[in-house]
């Protein structure tokens, strides 16, 4: 399953500093960013009781954000990619596999994650960078298969899916981390330390957040690499356009408030060490056509 994060995902919208940090350091600093999974041979080797320093990993979703995770892992000694799974076999999947083989990784490729889990018997962990509506099913299946999981945000596009993930992680005892990028960004880690340890702001009573962006055109695709209709429908998409721009469709993504606003909402929870007591939201569709963009753009 492809994540297609280049359609407005974090991979394209981070400023150059944040992108360089995520690509270079996110797997090394997540251990100090909070509870969860640090995908390094040392940590997962200890968690599984493995005596080997090597860590066998699969990439589930090799779109733009999957590429970010892949690039980061290639800089960590001891990580071996054993599988890449993506439904866009002629584009995302081949691109990722070609890069990994260039760096000496011997791996198998899959379209269906279930086949991957059935056939790959020596995996330690999975990186999940698929569209939001697949996160719960993918994460739960990988945890139940005995694998440690790093799953990109959002945890799920439904409350029920998120709860199922948490329940399964507790039942299996496997490591799980949801990839909120700012939890592993040194700037935010430093600010969190100043607020918590130095208490430079005293008691915080109000936090305001804002995110502005320019108009983003719909993502296209090379026609010769288009996914056939039967495959699209098998994995929950009505068309190639919907597949490429899934963030704007109800039931698939959550629009800008989930894609972008979630970063700030997560910071509020983290910095205040608190959870919301109530939530109120409003939005409007002021630019895009409701036929192709079901979520609010404002």
Give me the CATH number covering residue 143: 3.40.50.720
In a domain, 280, yes or no: no
Total domain count for the chain? 1
**Mean pLDDT score of the chain, rounded to an integer?**
84
Confidence of residue 184 (pLDDT cuts 50, 70, 90): confident
In a domain, 288, yes or no: no
Give the strand order in the sheet containing 176-179: 108-110, 79-85, 55-60, 125-128, 148-152, 176-179
In a domain, 216, yes or no: no
In a domain, 97, yes or no: yes
Rounded CA-CA distance 174/149 in Å is 8
Confidence of residue 33 (pLDDT cuts 50, 70, 90): very low
Mean pLDDT of 127-137: 98
Mean pLDDT of 196-209: 89
Range with lowest mean pLDDT among 193-207, 208-222, 269-283 = 208-222
Listed in sequence order, the DSSP H helices in the chain are 10-13, 16-29, 41-48, 64-74, 94-102, 113-119, 132-144, 159-172, 186-193, 229-234, 240-244, 255-259, 261-272
Would you say the C-alpha torsion 160, 157, 14, 3 has a positive or negative sign? positive
In a domain, 107, yes or no: yes
More confident residue, 67 or 6: 67
pLDDT, residue 210, reads: 86
More confident residue, 29 or 242: 242
In a domain, 76, yes or no: yes
In a domain, 208, yes or no: no
- pLDDT surpassing 80 at residue 19: no
Domain span holding position 142: 10-184
Residues 70-123 have pLDDT tens digits of 999 999 999 999 999 999 999 999 999 999 999 999 999 999 999 999 999 999
pLDDT, residue 121, reads: 96
pLDDT, residue 1, reads: 52
Could you tell me how far CA 137 lies from the centroid of its own chain?
14
User: Which residue(s) pair with 109 in the sheet?
Assistant: 84
Quick one: CA torsion of 259, 57, 240, 244, rounded to 10 degrees?
30
Closest CA to 63 of 39, 90, 96: 96
What percent of the chain is predicted at pLDDT more than 70? 83
Q: How far is CA 73 from CA 28, 146, 173, 188, in A?
A: 10, 21, 24, 22
Q: The whole model's pTM is what? A: 0.82
Rounded CA-CA distance 104/99 in Å is 9
pLDDT, residue 86, reads: 98
- pLDDT surpassing 60 at residue 48: no
- pLDDT surpassing 50 at residue 6: no
Q: Residue 275 has which token pair?
A: 């959870």
For 60, other C-beta atoms within 10 Å of its C-beta total 28
Q: Residue 173 has which token pair?
A: 């005892």
pLDDT, residue 150, reads: 97
- pLDDT surpassing 50 at residue 152: yes
Range with lowest mean pLDDT among 40-44, 141-145, 209-213 = 40-44
Rounded CA-CA distance 176/166 in Å is 9
More confident residue, 218 or 238: 238
In our burial notation (b when 16+ CB lie closer than 10 A, e otherwise), range 198-207 reads: eeeeeeeeee
More confident residue, 8 or 145: 145
* Farthest CA pair distance, the chain: 59
In a domain, 122, yes or no: yes
What percent of the chain is predicted at pLDDT more than 90? 60
Q: Residue 186 has which token pair?
A: 């040194």
């Amino acid at each position: 399953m492809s994540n297609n994060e280049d359609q407005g995902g974090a991979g394209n919208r981070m400023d150059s500093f944040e992108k360089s940090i995520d690509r270079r350091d996110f797997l090394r600093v997540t251990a100090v960013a909070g509870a969860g999974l640090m995908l390094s041979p040392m940590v997962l080797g200890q968690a599984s009781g493995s005596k080997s320093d090597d860590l066998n990993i699969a990439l589930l979703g090799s779109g733009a954000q999957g590429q970010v995770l892949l690039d980061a892992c290639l800089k960590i000694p001891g990580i071996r990619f054993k599988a890449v799974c993506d439904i866009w076999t002629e584009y995302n999947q081949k691109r990722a596999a070609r890069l990994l083989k260039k760096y000496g990784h011997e791996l198998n490729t899959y379209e269906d994650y279930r086949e991957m889990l059935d056939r790959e018997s020596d995996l330690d962990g999975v990186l999940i960078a698929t569209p939001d509506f697949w996160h719960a099913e993918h994460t739960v299946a990988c945890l139940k298969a005995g694998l440690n999981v790093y799953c990109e945000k959002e945890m799920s596009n439904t409350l029920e899916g998120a709860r199922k993930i948490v329940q399964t992680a507790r039942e299996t005892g496997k490591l799980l981390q949801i990839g909120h990028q700012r939890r592993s960004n040194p700037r935010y880690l430093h600010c969190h330390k100043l607020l918590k340890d130095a208490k430079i702001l005293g008691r915080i009573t109000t936090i305001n957040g804002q995110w502005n962006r320019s108009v983003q055109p719909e993502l296209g695709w090379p026609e010769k690499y288009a996914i056939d209709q039967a495959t699209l429908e098998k994995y929950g998409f009505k068309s190639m356009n919907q597949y490429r721009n899934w963030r704007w469709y109800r039931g698939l993504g959550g629009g800008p408030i989930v894609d972008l606003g979630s970063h700030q909402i997560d910071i509020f929870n983290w910095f205040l060490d608190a959870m919301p007591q109530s939530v109120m939201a409003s939005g409007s569709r002021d630019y895009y056509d409701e036929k192709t963009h079901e979520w609010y753009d404002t």
